[in-house]
C-alpha cells in the first residue's frame, strides 16, 4: 500500500527528530474529522463506533441531501463512503468538479482492479476492500489525511499509465486527419482503414463508387501517401505524413 513506507520512515531510526528532546510517539495525533456515507444504517453505525474509540477522530454521519452541503457543514477532512452506495463514483466526480475538498475513501470495495482504477481517476484517494481490517481502515485515513494515496501499487501504476496516455498529444498522423481532411474524407478514410472496398464504402455512405475514389485520390494527394497500407499506418499513428511523395493511384482500388 502506498503510504506504509512513508510511515515507516517517519517512525524509523533514520527519521529526523521532530523537536529537541521530544519523540514522535509523544506528539498528540492530529484531529481528523471524518464524514460517513452509506445507505446502510448498520454500516454507518458500525464504522462510527469503530472510529469513535480513537479520540483523534471526530465522526459525523451524512444523512441529508445534497451531500456537498452536508459535507461543508461538517468541515470533514475525510469522506468515508460505502463503495456500494448507488452512484458512488458519480458522487466522487461531482464533488471533485464542484471543488468540495474532503479526501474520499471508498470502503468495502469488491477488489475489482478496473473499478478501482476508475475510482482513482474520479478523484478517490483511498480504496479499502471488504477484507480490510480495522487497523487498515485507521492507517488509510491517516495516510490519505497526509495527502497520500491508499491503494494497491498495481492499481496506482495502471491509473498513472492511463492518465499519462490521456495527457499525451495525439500522434502526428492523426493530427493530419483532423486538420487537413474534410468531414466526408474522414468518413471515407475510416471505412477504408476498417477494410471496406470502395464499393462497400460507397454503399455505406449512400454515394457512388466514383465519388469514393475521387475523395481517396484527394486524400492521398493531401497527405502525400502511397496506397491504403500507408493510409492505415498514418491513421493509427504509426506513420507521420511524409513531406512529399508520389501518389500511387493504382492502389486506390486495391
Buried b (16+ CB within 10 A) or exposed e, 4-33: eeeeeeeeeeeeeeeeeeeeeeeeeeeebb
Q: Per-residue pLDDT for 193 more than 90?
A: no
| Domain's final residue, options 102, 135, 167 | 167
What is the CATH number for 219?
Answer: 1.10.10.10
Overall number of domains in the chain: 2
pLDDT at 250: 36
CATH number assigned to the domain comprising residue 119: 3.40.50.2300
Residues present in the chain in total? 254
Query: Treating both helix axes as pointing N-terminal to C-terminal, what angle do 183-193 and 227-235 enclose, rounded to 10 degrees?
Result: 110
Q: What digits encode the pLDDT tens for the residues 211-245?
A: 999 999 988 888 888 777 778 777 766 555 555 44
Residue 13 and residue 105 in one domain: yes
pLDDT at 15 over 80: no
- pLDDT of the residue at 146: 92
Whether residues 146 and 194 share a domain: the answer is no
Domain extent at residue 193: 172-251
Residue that terminates a domain, selected from 132, 147, 167? 167
Q: What's the pLDDT at 172? A: 56
Distance between CA atoms of 145 and 125, rounded to whole angstroms? 9
Name the domain boundary from 167, 196, 226.
167
Angle ∠(102,104,106) on CA atoms, nearest 5:
160
Average pLDDT over the chain reads 79
CA distance 155 to 84: 19
Mean pLDDT calculated for residue range 14-26: 40
pLDDT bracket for residue 67 (50, 70, 90): confident
**How far, in whole angstroms, is CA 175 from its chain's centroid?**
24
Q: 131 and 227 share a domain?
A: no
Amino acid at each position: 500500500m502506498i503510504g506504509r513506507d512513508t510511515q515507516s520512515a517517519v517512525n524509523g531510526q533514520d527519521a529526523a527528530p521532530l523537536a529537541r528532546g521530544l519523540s514522535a510517539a509523544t506528539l498528540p495525533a492530529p484531529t481528523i474529522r471524518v464524514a460517513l456515507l452509506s445507505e446502510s444504517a448498520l454500516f454507518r453505525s458500525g464504522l462510527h463506533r469503530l472510529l469513535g474509540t480513537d479520540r483523534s477522530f471526530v465522526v459525523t454521519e451524512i444523512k441529508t441531501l445534497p451531500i456537498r452541503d452536508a459535507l461543508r457543514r461538517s468541515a470533514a477532512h475525510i469522506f468515508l463512503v460505502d463503495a456500494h452506495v448507488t452512484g458512488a463514483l458519480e458522487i466522487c466526480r461531482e464533488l471533485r468538479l464542484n471543488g468540495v475538498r474532503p479526501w474520499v475513501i471508498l470502503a468495502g470495495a469488491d477488489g475489482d482492479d478496473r473499478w478501482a482504477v476508475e475510482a482513482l481517476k474520479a478523484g478517490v484517494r483511498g480504496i479499502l476492500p471488504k477484507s480490510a481490517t480495522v487497523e487498515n481502515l485507521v492507517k488509510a485515513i491517516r495516510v490519505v489525511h497526509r495527502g497520500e494515496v491508499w491503494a494497491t501499487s498495481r492499481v496506482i501504476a495502471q491509473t498513472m499509465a492511463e492518465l499519462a496516455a490521456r495527457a499525451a498529444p495525439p500522434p502526428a498522423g492523426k493530427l493530419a486527419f483532423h486538420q487537413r481532411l474534410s468531414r466526408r474524407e474522414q468518413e471515407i478514410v475510416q471505412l477504408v482503414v476498417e477494410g471496406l472496398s470502395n464499393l462497400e464504402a460507397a454503399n455505406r455512405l449512400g454515394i457512388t463508387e466514383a465519388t469514393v475514389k475521387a475523395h481517396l485520390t484527394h486524400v492521398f494527394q493531401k497527405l502525400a501517401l502511397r496506397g491504403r497500407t500507408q493510409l492505415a499506418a498514418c491513421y493509427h499513428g504509426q506513420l507521420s505524413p511524409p513531406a512529399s511523395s508520389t501518389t500511387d493511384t493504382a492502389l486506390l482500388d486495391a
